[in-house]
């Protein structure tokens, strides 16, 4: 039995054991396609269901979700998305200082790991990627930048991310990619989706 | 075609938003007071979800380059066609060359204009709604903006819709949770037994409130989770933020309670300085 919390009269917040469980449940809920549900939003240890209050019996939905078997959901089997990165970010030196590593080590460690999209938020197509090397955990900048350019590859806390569009931001910039992360003309518009695996490929020579 | 002469403080194109993309970080957006937009559309024989204009504190003028049936709903304001007063919540025939003037509502915040045929600006992810936070949809209206509209076949069968006036002392009904257990035992009582004041920093993302602080019982950070419209999210300073339609899809502050969906239109009409109360139900 899962813990299902009410988020008002049109939402259910389902608790999960961990991030993997959240992704499995997210896929199982998409497969189940419960009528009246408009959005399914995974978080770090939750999945939120948003329903049309007039078109959905929330009590019945909660009961079905509580016992939903998520292990049957098809695993994310897409190969990792490869994001080419030019490691020339403004904060590279600062991150090296903060972590006690050399710039080259920062880059190597950032590019050595396979990441997973934990969830999206902050702005359309902005994926919070988990799997960051412990040695690279740094806090956000004390004062956020008013504008971070599209394609900036950055780290903060346990996450790394690529800014899909220009926005204010306090993450530390390691580099940038020319890959289009977000395009409303594309279907789906976001390159990233919850659960997808990601690798960063350094472009050393240019 | 409609030409914007003056948009007022903020005017945007809105329909019923773009549900279904929240897992990609896309807010639902759409009319903050959706029932008012639906009504405006019904009055001119449109499908309820046709795109119209959401005005913030009125103060706008629109020049019609072609004749149209229109209606204005939501926050009540002085409506004039050229010099002649017109009724809210009723269809109005605007001749070619007519200019529609919207005054400043003495109460409420958002008024809606529907045009028979609906605005036909380009859709982004299935919706014509402007989302200023996420940079989706058409830009906010500016002097000179041209708004194309379509044709409608639906019948116009209502002359005037009876609409209840906005309450002087709004009460929003809330359901506890999903994270009320992050707060001190009496926090829900504090929330529902004191008035809260609307601060001037609100927008379509949310209404920032000031009042007795809602004290947390737990330290630490909440793992980021999905957010719903109507959520009362509480940052560390203890003053709740009521999420409206452009709210971010995920957040890391605990939500103590959520406003019932029937009361979201009232929440969308709150203006700076308003006092409101919450009622647990």
* CA distance linking residue A126 with residue A156, whole number of Å: 13
- In degrees, rounded to 5, the angle at the alpha carbon of residue A35 between the alpha carbons of residues A31 and A37 is 80
Sequence spans of domains, chain B? 2-147, 171-280
Name the pLDDT band for A118 (thresholds 50, 70, 90).
Answer: very high
**The two three-digit tokens of residue B63, written as one number:** 């020049």
Query: Å from A15 to nearest chain B CA?
Result: 10
Q: Given this model, what pLDDT does residue A72 score?
A: 57
* CA distance linking residue B86 with residue B72, whole number of Å: 10
Name the pLDDT band for A74 (thresholds 50, 70, 90).
Answer: low
| Residue B92 CA, distance from chain mean position | 23
* CA distance linking residue A134 with residue A155, whole number of Å: 12
Number of domains composing chain A: 2
Q: Given this model, what pLDDT does residue A206 score?
A: 44
A127 and A55 inside one domain = no
* CA distance linking residue B257 with residue B234, whole number of Å: 10
Indicate the residue of A6, A43, A193 with minimum beta-carbon distance to B225: A43
Q: Which of the residues A10, A11, A34 would you substitute to probe the B interface, choosing the one with the greatest number of B C-beta atoms within 10 Å?
A: A11
* CA distance linking residue A196 with residue A127, whole number of Å: 10
Query: Å from A81 to nearest chain B CA?
Result: 16
CATH class of the B2-147 domain in this structure: mainly beta
A51 and A87 inside one domain = no
A165 and A190 inside one domain = yes
Q: Given this model, what pLDDT does residue A69 score?
A: 81
A163 and A95 inside one domain = yes
pLDDT at B162 over 90: no
Q: Given this model, what pLDDT does residue A70 score?
A: 76
Q: Which domain holds residue A28?
A: 4-66
Asked if A130 reaches chain B (Cβ–Cβ under 8 Å), the answer is: no
Calculate mean pLDDT across residues A90-106: 96
* CA distance linking residue A129 with residue A37, whole number of Å: 26
Does the residue A61 lie in any domain?
Answer: yes
Indicate the residue of B21, B224, B255 with minimum beta-carbon distance to A119: B224
Share of chain A above pLDDT 90, in %: 87
Calculate mean pLDDT across residues B4-25: 98
In the A/B pair of chains, how many CB contacts fall below 8 A?
126
Alpha-carbon distances, residue B102 vs A11, A170, B113 (angstroms) = 36, 41, 10
ipTM metric = 0.95
A125 and A182 inside one domain = yes
B171-280, what's its fold? Cyclophilin (2.40.100)
Calculate mean pLDDT across residues B33-48: 97
Kindly report the CATH number assigned to the domain that includes residue A39: 3.30.1360.40
A62 and A106 inside one domain = no
A107 and A43 inside one domain = no
- Which is nearest to A26 in space by CA: A16, B163, B157? A16
Cβ separation A122–B248 shorter than 8 A: yes
Chain B residues lying within 8 Å of A41, measured CB to CB = 22-23, 226, 249-250
Kindly report the CATH number assigned to the domain that includes residue A198: 2.40.100.10
Q: Given this model, what pLDDT does residue A75 score?
A: 65
The β-bridge relationship of strands B52-56 and B110-115 is: antiparallel
Q: Given this model, what pLDDT does residue B43 score?
A: 96
Share of chain B above pLDDT 70, in %: 100
Does the residue A72 lie in any domain?
Answer: no
Sorted by sequence, the CB contacts under 8 Å of residue B73 that are 6+ apart come out as B36, B37, B39, B40, B43, B88, B89, B111, B112, B114, B161, B163
């Amino acid at each position: 039995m899962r813990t299902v919390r009410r988020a008002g009269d049109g939402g259910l917040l389902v608790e999960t054991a961990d991030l993997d469980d959240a992704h499995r449940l997210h896929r199982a809920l998409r497969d189940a396609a419960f009528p009246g549900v408009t959005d399914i939003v995974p978080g770090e240890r939750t999945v939120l269901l948003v329903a049309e209050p007039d078109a959905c019996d929330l009590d019945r939905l909660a009961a079905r979700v509580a016992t939903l078997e998520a292990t049957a959901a098809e695993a994310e089997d897409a190969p990792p998305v490869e994001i080419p990165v030019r490691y020339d970010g403004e904060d590279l030196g600062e991150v090296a200082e903060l972590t006690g590593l050399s710039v080259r080590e920062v880059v190597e460690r950032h590019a050595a790991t396979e990441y997973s999209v934990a969830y999206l938020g902050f702005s359309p197509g902005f994926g919070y990627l988990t799997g960051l090397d412990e040695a690279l955990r740094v806090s956000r900048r004390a004062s956020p930048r008013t504008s971070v350019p599209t394609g900036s590859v950055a780290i903060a806390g346990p996450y790394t991310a690529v800014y899909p569009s220009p926005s204010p931001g306090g993450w530390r910039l390691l580099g940038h990619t020319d890959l289009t992360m977000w395009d409303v003309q594309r279907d789906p518009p976001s390159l990233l989706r919850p659960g997808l695996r990601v690798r960063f490929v350094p472009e050393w020579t240019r | 075609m409609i030409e914007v002469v003056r948009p007022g403080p903020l005017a945007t194109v809105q329909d019923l938003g773009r549900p279904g993309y929240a897992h990609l970080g896309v807010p639902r957006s759409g009319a903050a007071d959706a029932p008012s937009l639906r009504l405006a559309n019904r009055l001119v024989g449109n499908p309820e979800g046709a795109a119209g204009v959401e005005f913030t504190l009125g103060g706008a003028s629109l020049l019609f380059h072609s004749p149209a049936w229109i209606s204005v709903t939501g926050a009540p304001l002085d409506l004039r066609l050229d010099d002649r007063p017109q009724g809210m919540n009723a269809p109005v025939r605007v001749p070619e060359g007519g200019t529609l003037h919207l005054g400043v509502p003495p109460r409420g915040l958002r008024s809606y204009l529907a045009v028979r045929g609906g605005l036909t600006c380009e859709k982004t992810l299935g919706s014509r709604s402007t989302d200023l936070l996420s940079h989706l949809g058409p830009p906010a209206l500016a002097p000179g903006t041209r708004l194309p509209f379509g044709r409608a076949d639906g019948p116009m069968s209502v002359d005037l819709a009876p609409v209840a006036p906005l309450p002087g002392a709004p009460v929003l009904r809330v359901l506890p949770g999903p994270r009320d257990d992050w707060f001190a035992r009496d926090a829900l009582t504090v929330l529902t037994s004191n008035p809260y004041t609307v601060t001037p920093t609100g927008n379509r993302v949310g209404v920032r409130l000031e009042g007795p602080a809602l004290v947390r019982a737990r330290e630490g950070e909440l793992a980021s989770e999905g957010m719903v419209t109507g959520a009362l999210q509480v940052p560390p300073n203890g003053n709740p933020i009521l999420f409206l339609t452009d709210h971010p899809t995920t957040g890391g502050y605990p939500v103590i309670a959520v406003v019932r969906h029937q009361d979201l239109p009232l929440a969308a009409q709150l203006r700076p300085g308003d006092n409101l109360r919450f009622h647990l139900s």
